[in-house]
Amino acid sequence: MTHPLQLLFLLCLVIPAAKLAGAGANRIGQPAVFGEILAGLLLGPTLLDVLGWPVFQPVATAHGAGEPLLNVMRDLAHIGVILLMFIAGMETDITEMRRVGKVAFWAAAGGVALPLTFGALTASYFGLPMLWQGIFIGTILTATSVSISAQTLLEIGALRSKEGSTILGAAVIDDVMGIILLSVVVALTRATGDLSQVAWIAVRMAVYFIVAIWAGRFLGALVRRTRHLEVSQGVLAIVLAVAFLYAWAAEYVGGVAAITGSYLAGVLFAQTPYKEEIDRGIHPLTYSMLVPVFFVSIGLEANGRELGEHALFAVTLVLVAVVTKALGCGLFARLSGFNNREATRVGLGMISRGEVGLIVAGYGLDNGIISRDVFSASVIMVLVTTMITPPLLRLSFPRGRAASAMVEETIAGPPEEVEG
């Protein structure tokens, strides 16, 4: 079987498996992303190891051995994660971030500071170098899944409650802080300790962000002119080109992660009058194929069998992830004026790591910052935190409170659906 046919057959397995697993996860009260990651683990070396089947072995070509399918899947997943972060940028509401005020900001700050600190200390305790592997593991733990928390709050009728608004605002701010932190860590890992290199990277970062934000002023005009071209899907084509350009320039010019560039492009496009039109085009393209490939590829990369002697590290990482996020967010919300019960709900709603944690972990693996066993432990951490957040949120909101919030939502009008 030729290499293209192998790829087509693999996609025939991966895409339906991801969607069916996502649907199954929804039926048992879990977010779709949980099922998609689990599908990858089942198809990967943890259980079935489909890439080891004879049908998927590299084939001989005129130029030598064929390229392993896993490399192609990585490339497709990389494009998927760039578009996923672009959509995350599109969904970042700057006005809402300002509205929720100091409680959301400080809850997010606490949810970054404690996981970062104790994640790095945990890595150091298990013999991993603090620079930069330990700090990067801490960076993985700083993420929060906006979609998972939002979908759960919507289901229990608490999306528009005070705690619900704070959780959503804090989750968005948390992810912005995490992206900035990731950019700084990635940039510094590329410096060898020479102060001149660190200064040069700082200059490159500054130049990139200044030019990228300045260029964002012209994106609306660019889309407007593209709409007048007599060509099919011209707007989507130019938006994709800009998103990829921002991602490329972020890493090649600015020395930061490519996903930072696509996220910034999404934030800038969201400020244009064409946000809804862009959403209608980018969502089907991203969620029909590339995002399922990304989530399944995470499972294909992870190997639960490798944990073995590292099982204690994985368990500890999960405990640290849960406790530090809940405590950091909850404590800072309490110090910002919430009572104990409200602060507890905010802390519980921020536990889930979801797709952002996977994006950061995958970047670390691809760039040699973390090892494969650390990556596998990170995937387990994301799965566990994703699984426990919905039931914990449901338990923290009494039925009467949720029903009351649902009535208020019905009067005010249904909130916009959140895509998981």
Give pLDDT tens digits for 285-323. 999 999 889 888 887 877 777 777 778 999 999 999 999
CA atoms within 13 Å, Cβ hemisphere of 113: 12
- For the cut 60, the answer to whether the pLDDT of residue 74 exceeds it is yes
Torsion of CA 299, 303, 305, 309, to 10 degrees: -130
- For the cut 60, the answer to whether the pLDDT of residue 400 exceeds it is no
What CATH number does the domain located at 74-412 have? 1.20.1530.20
CA 127 to chain centre: 27
Q: Which residue has the higher pLDDT, 194 or 306?
A: 306
pLDDT of residue 330: 94
pLDDT of residue 188: 74
- Taking the alpha carbons at both ends of the chain, their separation in whole angstroms is 36
Q: Which residue has the higher pLDDT, 351 or 390?
A: 351
Q: If pLDDT is split at 50, 70 and 90, which confidence band does 190 have?
A: low
- For the cut 60, the answer to whether the pLDDT of residue 417 exceeds it is no
pLDDT of residue 137: 93
Angle of helix 219-227 relative to helix 234-252, nearest 10 degrees, comes to 150
pLDDT of residue 194: 58
User: Which residues face 64 on adjacent strands?
Assistant: 61
Which of 49-58, 59-68, 74-83, 250-259 is predicted least confidently? 59-68
- For the cut 60, the answer to whether the pLDDT of residue 272 exceeds it is yes
What value does the mean pLDDT take over residues 121-150?
Answer: 85
- Taking residue 90's Cβ as centre, other Cβ atoms within 10 Å add up to 24
pLDDT of residue 62: 44
pLDDT of residue 122: 94
What value does the mean pLDDT take over residues 35-48?
Answer: 87
Give pLDDT tens digits for 93-103. 777 666 666 88
pLDDT of residue 116: 94
Give pLDDT tens digits for 206-225. 899 999 999 999 999 999 99
- Taking residue 241's Cβ as centre, other Cβ atoms within 10 Å add up to 12
- For the cut 90, the answer to whether the pLDDT of residue 359 exceeds it is no
Which pair of structure tokens corresponds to residue 197?
């290199």
What value does the mean pLDDT take over residues 10-37?
Answer: 87
pLDDT of residue 24: 93
Which residues are within 8 A (CB) of 21 and not within 5 positions of it... i.e. 6 or more apart? 35, 36, 38, 39
Give pLDDT tens digits for 327-340. 999 999 999 889 99
The phi and psi torsions of 61 (rounded to 5 degrees) equal -130, 180
Q: What is the overall mean pLDDT for the chain?
A: 83
Residue type, 118: F
pLDDT of residue 202: 77
pLDDT of residue 382: 87
